[in-house]
Structure formats: structure tokens, C-alpha cells
Structure 1
Amino acid sequence: MPLPNATSRRQFLTLLGISAAAVSCGRATAGGVSGSGRTKTLRYQGTAGQVTLPELAEDLGYLGDVKLRWIGNTISGPQDIQSAATGQTDFGGAFNGAVVKLAASGAPIKAVVSYYGSDEHAYSGYYVLEDSPIRSARDLIGKKVGMNTLGAHAEALLGIYLERNGLSPADIGKVEPLVVPPLNTEQSLRRGQIDVGVLGGILRDKALAEGGVRPLFTDHQLLGDFSAGTYVLTERFIERNPDTAQTFVTAVAKAIEWARTTPREDVVARMTEIVRKRGRNEDTASLKYWRSYGVAETAGRIADKEFQLWIDWLAGRDEIKKDRIEASGLYTNEFNKYVKGSGS
């Protein structure tokens, strides 16, 4: 689906694209390595008011002697993985379509473990006000859809929804995706600044609890259970730090299964305590709505299908050359040593 206008396209390409110079810099500096070429400290970006799987894994003790060093909060998945690719952080996570596009541009990255997805509890919904006249895909023509970033999960699913409901490329181009920070999406929808707001996880459940909104569709309705995003490491980091890579991936895998098998109220309590302990003056109220990370496969292991869907989607829009990239080359499960019961 084409981006709504030239300005948005430039912003998206600036965010997701990576220049030859940046790739070169990433190959030279990625991993935050010392002179010995080894590191036990992983620089990363977090999310305000939420607990990422690596943060949960560290609090549970699964990272052992590997430590996390927070350097700030990410503005989007594409930005997060570009920071990893250029060596500003040691790992980043994004929607798998964004991983495909960044890898296709020449970035030296490898997906190593899934970290979010869609299930009956964790999904992204495209919400309208209760009394909105929008009832179908065709009703979206000329309307504004607020989402966290362009060129990622939310826009891709919107495109699939519009295509499956028979809209032509010309009509799809008249639907306007707009960047709205997730924390502001509900408010923007209720104020009429956007016609549709993409809400997921705790922000979705909070909006539903307050009432007055209804879903037009959800990504889970479109695709069922699926893992949607992966954490990536650079190839250079993996080459220099295979032990740290294995510790990191396996710890995230254990955290996924811990969250999956632990009573929800206990997970929420643990997350709330993690946010309070880090002392960043964050609101923990929305954590009570957490239900699932939505990862489909056991321990976040990755399969070809999780990338092939987006390879096909991007190639169909001439965003990438399909014959130049293979799903199996985008990821590895080599470092995922999770064994059932090891996370207890």
C-alpha cells in the first residue's frame, strides 16, 4: 500500500532505511565491544510504563552475569532495530516486516527470538467510536487511521484488511495512516482528531474498560495466532559474543514461558515492581490490563512463515526484490537453548 503522501514517505524511508555509511558504521561498531571483542553488558531501548521481555528475564535472574543497560526509550520498532544495526544499541526489536526491509537494505542483522505477537489476549485492534458511521473497509476511504509508526505492523495489517475487502490500489491510497504516539491514540480518537485508532495490549484494554469504542477489525481476526516481531542482533555481535547471544536469547525464551505459565496477577505484580524499582517516574496503572505477550511458538522460536508473509507483502509493493532475500536467511534459532521446565 502506498504511503499517504510524499512527506510521510520521506519520514518513513528516513526511519526505516539505512544508508551504506550507516551499515558500514554498524559493521565497525555494533555490539558495544571492548578491545577484547567480548561484552557482558547489553545496551537497549525500553518502553515507558511497560516491561520488555529482556527486562523481565533480568529480574527473574535468567540473564546470569549478563547485564542490561537502558539508554532511553524507543520511538518505534524500525527505529529500535536501526539503532541495533548501527551499533547504538546491542539489540532491538521490531515487526518482522520491518526486519525484512532493513535486512534487504543491507543491514547486518539476524533475528534471534520472537518477542510479541497476536493471540486471543494480545492483539492489535482498529477502533472507532461507538457511534462512528465506519462499518466496513470501504468506509475508510478518506479517513485518518492513527498508529504508532508508518511502515510497520499496524500499516501492514491495515493494508491486508483493505486488500482482502476488495479495495483497489487507488482507493487504498485514499486511506490516510498517521503517526500518533500510542499513549495519545485513545485521546485522539475520542477527540475526533483521527477516525480510527490502532490500540493493542494494555492500552486497548484500558480504552475498552472506559467504553465508547468498538473494533472495526483486529489483526488476530485477520491472521489468527502468530508471532509478529523479533529481537535482532548484528552478525558482528553474534560472531564476537556467541556466549552472550545464547544467554540473552535463552533468557528471553525462558521469560516468555514464565509469563505464559504464571498466573496473570503474579505477572502483573512482578512487572509493577520492576517499573517501580527502576525509578523513572512512570505510571504503572496500565499494567493491570496486561494479559499476554502473544508469542505463538514455544520459547519464541522462529519459523520461515513468520517472515515469508511479509516478504511476499513487501515484494508485491516493490518495496523489496523477492528473489534477493530468503526467509531462512533472516533468522537463527541456534542460540535458543530453552528446555521445557528450565524457566521455573
Structure 2
Amino acid sequence: MSAARPPAALTRRRWLQAAGAAGAALAAPAFAQTRPISITLPWVVNGSNYWPMVGKELGFFRKRGIDLTVSRGNGSVAAAQAVANKQFDLGVVFFGGTLVNMARGLPLQALATVGYDSLMGNLVLADSPIRSPKDFEGKRVGTVATSAESPYWAAYAAKTGIDLSKVTRQQLDARLIERALMDRQVDAITAIGSSSIPVLDSLGVKTRFIPWSAAGIELYAAQVIARTETIQADPGLCQAMVDGILESVVYTLKKPEESLEILFKAQPEIALAKGGKENARLSQGLAQATMVAPEAIEHGMGYSSIPKLAGMISLAARAGALRADAKPLVPEDLATNRFAGRIRLSTAEWDAVRRNVAPYAKMVGMA
């Protein structure tokens, strides 16, 4: 849907002042009228992306003059396209989706980074003999050609010395890839850890994750994105949305169990599904493990490292994730820190978060 205009009684100038344009205090006044704003998630609502719903339930957006509608997505690439096409005002999209679409010329930019590791890697069963990169040789590796991580498998292999001519690559349907590993039709799969680990765990299948980030093959994860025209014309809206989302993220970091109860109340089908609660808890913990990063700790929530973005552009180009005719990308165009860094956690708060996410960080090789 197109971005809605503020009601007549709420002028643009009053909106910019009230919504907290750059430099305004973080606390926002109560609003007699609110502005309807829509946001899309990258996929179905789950523990790795539900924080805008938490903020909606707790009034973090309403106090900033926003009546927020949260919708599920159909993958980060499609979600980013939906924002660019004005179906939604903003989006929560994994960096890879934004990168691909910006290389196609779509006018998008990230306003804040929430997750700092997309958790690309290989997933194997707990009893698998695969322990090191060279162990993949002679094995069958399942992958989904259209998945976010698939293009980077070859980059990981090149970086770690895997001879892919000795690896059988098996193309799988996205709906069947975890089942193929579970049934031992393949020896390993390429995966996004926060997606595939909870699926198998909810089925009682124990796995081990081999992270590609250990070899320097990494991308940012969830980011808040908007159209460049929205950023230029409505910085007050962008600031209010970033602040509302990051306040929501911090709440889930500090109160993970209370946050999940909000999710189960808002999406009761999750709690009713077999293994649904544990799936949500696990996907939340894995996503939160990626939020503990120097960028957020040193510069404040939402901050993006421009030098790291440059390296990610180079990695995507080498991996073939970008089309040959892709638009040249400038790191500063991919993300702005204009709206980030206003919300910060104390050292003691970060220490508490680290303790909470330690078991999940261990699951994906981050601890």
C-alpha cells in the first residue's frame, strides 16, 4: 500500500516536530491522532523478527504518533521489492535482499541494522563425521538454489580449501531441505542457522552448525529499510520508526520470556502448533546472539559499519550473488547512520544480554 498522508489536522511541520526528527529527545509526547504506517517482515512472524509486533502491543509506536500495521513477508528479496514498489512504507529485510535489489536499481536504503550476522553456514546432524571443511569432500550437500546463502557456498569452499569437484551438490525444494537432512538423504545442507536449526530442533532432531563467518564469509542480517524518497521527504517518520523498532528490540533483549508471551498472544497459532513455542524461543535466541556486536555496543543500537558494508559488496560480487549488469554499489548508499545510535545499553545491560544468549551463541559457533 502507498504511504498514507497525515490527517489534515496534523501538518507536516507538526509531525516532524512531534515524531522526533534528528536531534529531538527520545521520549515522545502522547498523540491525539496517529498516522497509519505499514511495515513488512522478511518472512512469517517468528522469534527472529517479531519485535515490531512487541512495540505495537506495548504502545512504543503509538506514543510516537504511529498506528503500525505489521505484515508477513515472502522472503527478503520480495519484501524489499514490496517496499520499493510502495506496497509498504518500511520493511524489516535481511541485508542480502536489500543488496540484490539495490544492485537492480531499486531506490532503497537501510535506516538501521538489527542483526550483525546472517548466520550462513552448513547444518549437519549431531553425529555427523563432518568436523572440518575438508570433510565435506566425498559428501552430499543439499542446497536450495534460490536461498539467500546458496551463492556463498562456493565462496566458503574457496576460502577454506574445499574441492567442490569432490562434493555432490544436490538441489532441493525449500520445503523439503530440512527433511532431507533429517532423513539422511544428504550429509549436510547449506542454511541460515536461525531458520533451519529451530525447524529441526522442534522435530527433536539435534544438529551441529558450521558457520561460514568463521572464514570471513558473512553478511549483516535484519535491517530496517525504506525508500530513499521517504528518507528525504519524511526524516521525522524514519526517526520515529527506527526509535520505535529499536526500543522494541531492546525490550526483547531485556525481557525475552515476557516478549514471547506477547508474541503468543498476538499470534496464538504459534503456541498451538506442535513445537511452536520452542521454535519461537530458539529462533529468538539465535537472532539475539547476532545483535551482540561491536557496532551496537560501541556506537548504539542500529549502527552500521560502512567499511564492513564495502567488504560485503565485494563478497557478493565475487560469489556471483549480483548480476553481471548490476548497478555499481557505494557502501554509503546501502545504509545510513543518520537515525541510529540514539538508544544505547549500559555495560551491565550488555553483560546480561550476553549471559542470556550464550547457549544460542554456542549453537552457531559464536562462543
Partner in structure 1 of residue 328 of structure 2: 324
Q: Is the 8 A contact 2:38 2:69 kept in 1?
A: yes
Written as runs of structure 1 = structure 2, the 5 A alignment for 1:18-167 is 31=3, 40-45=36-41, 47-50=44-47, 51-64=49-62, 65-71=65-71, 73-118=72-117, 123=119, 125-132=121-128, 134-138=130-134, 139=136, 143-146=140-143, 150=146, 152=148, 154-167=149-162
Instruction: Identify the residue that residue 266 of structure 2 maps to in structure 1.
Output: 274
Distance 1:206 1:151 in 2: 16
Matched, 1:309 2:311: yes
- Deviations along 1:47-72, one digit per CA (max 9) or x if unpaired, are 2444523222222322122122244x
Return the offset for 1:286. Answer: 2.0
SS in 1 for 2:116: strand
Give the match's secondary structure for 2:111: strand
Q: Secondary structure at the match of 1:116?
A: coil
Shift of 1:99: 1.8
Report the alpha carbon displacement of residue 185 of structure 1 after superposing the two structures with TM: 4.3
CA contact (8 A) 2:219 2:312 kept: no
Q: Which residue identity lines up with residue 317 of structure 2 in the other structure?
A: A
Q: Secondary structure at the match of 2:112?
A: strand
Distance in 1 between residues matched to 2:74 and 2:173, nearest whole Å: 11
The CA distance in 2 between the partners of 1:117 and 1:337, in whole Å, is: 15
Structure having the higher Rg: 2
The CA deviation at 1:301 is 1.3
Equivalent position of 2:178 in the other structure? 186
2-side partners of 1:280 and 1:241: how far apart? 38
- Aligned partner of 1:19 in structure 2 is none
Structure 1 gap segments, 5+ residues each = 1-28
Q: Which moved more, 1:264-273 or 1:203-212?
A: 203-212
Distance 2:46 2:243 in 1: 25
Q: Which secondary structure state, in structure 2, belongs to the residue aligned with residue 68 of structure 1?
A: strand
Tell me the SS of whatever aligns to 2:340. Answer: coil
What value does the CA root-mean-square deviation take over the aligned residues? Answer: 3.9
Report Cα offsets for 1:59-108 as digits up to 9, x if no partner. Answer: 2322122122244x322111111111111222223332332221121101
Question: What per-residue deviation string (whole Å, max 9, x for no partner) do you get for residues 221-250 of structure 1?
Answer: 344997433221001222333222111111
What is the distance in 2 between the residues matched to 1:58 and 1:35?
A: 20
Indicate which of 216, 222, 246 corresponds to 1:229. Answer: 222
Q: What CA distance in whole angstroms lies between the structure 2 residues aligned with 1:193 and 1:33? A: 53
Distance apart, 1:309 and its partner CA: 2.4
One-letter amino acid matched to 2:69: R
Give % identity: 17
Superposition TM-score, scaled by structure 1 size:
0.71
Preserved contact between residue 95 and residue 219 of structure 2 (Cα < 8 Å): no
Report the Cα distance in structure 1 between the residues aligned to 2:5 and 2:218, rounded to whole angstroms: 37
CA contact (8 A) 1:97 1:307 kept: no
Structure 1 SS opposite 2:115 = strand
**Structure 2 residue aligned with 1:242:** 235
Distance 1:288 1:228 in 2: 18
| Cα 1:123–1:103 shift into 2, 3 Å | closer
Q: Which residue of the partner structure matches residue 7 of structure 1?
A: none
| C-alpha contact (below 8 Å) 2:53/2:70 kept by paired residues | no
- Corresponding residue of 1:338: 342
Letter in 2 for 1:68: L
How many residues are treated as equivalent by the alignment? 304
CA 1:173–1:104: 2 relative to 1, 3 Å: farther
Conserved in 2, the CA contact under 8 Å of 1:127 and 1:213?
no
Gaps of 5+ in 2: 13-34, 350-367
- What residue identity is the alignment partner of 1:275? Q
Distance 1:222 1:229, change over 3 A: farther
Q: Distance in 2 between matches of 1:216 and 1:339?
A: 32
Q: Are the counterparts in 2 of residues 246 and 335 from structure 1 also a CA contact under 8 Å? A: yes
Tell me the distance in 1 between the aligned counterparts of 2:279 and 2:270: 17
Counterpart AA for 1:61: G
Contact in 2 for aligned 1:115/1:231 (Cα 8 Å): yes
TM-aligned CA distance change 1:137 to 1:339, over 3 Å: closer
Q: Separation in 1 of the partners of 2:182 and 2:150? A: 21
